[in-house]
Amino acid sequence: MMLLNIDFKIHNPWAGKFKNLWSRGYGTPFKNKFIELELYKYSYLIGFHFYWYVQTDHPGVDCEFSLFGYTLHFKFYDSRHRKLFD
């Protein structure tokens, strides 16, 4: 279930294809929690999104910030599946 979703994007329909420029995954001092960071080129001129997932597989926070075709994506999540929380 998505608890909170804030999303705003202005899309350039003539832009090129998606291209991942950089990505990394990191462990944290918290059990079963991970961080992922990505930088990619896509067709968003300006954009922001914030998702907060709960009661689902891999609950956590997912954020993107886009400016002139470049997007920084941050994700902090739990690696477990929902059936372990029930």
Question: Pick from 73, 9, 77: which is nearest to 39 by CA?
Answer: 73
Q: What is the pLDDT along the chain (86 residues), one digit of tens a residue?
A: 678 999 999 999 998 889 999 999 999 999 999 999 999 999 999 999 999 988 888 899 999 999 999 999 999 999 988 775 55
Torsional class of 35: left (φ above 0), alpha (ψ -120 to 50), beta (otherwise): beta
Show the CA angle centred on residue 30, arms to residues 25 and 35, nearest 5°. 20
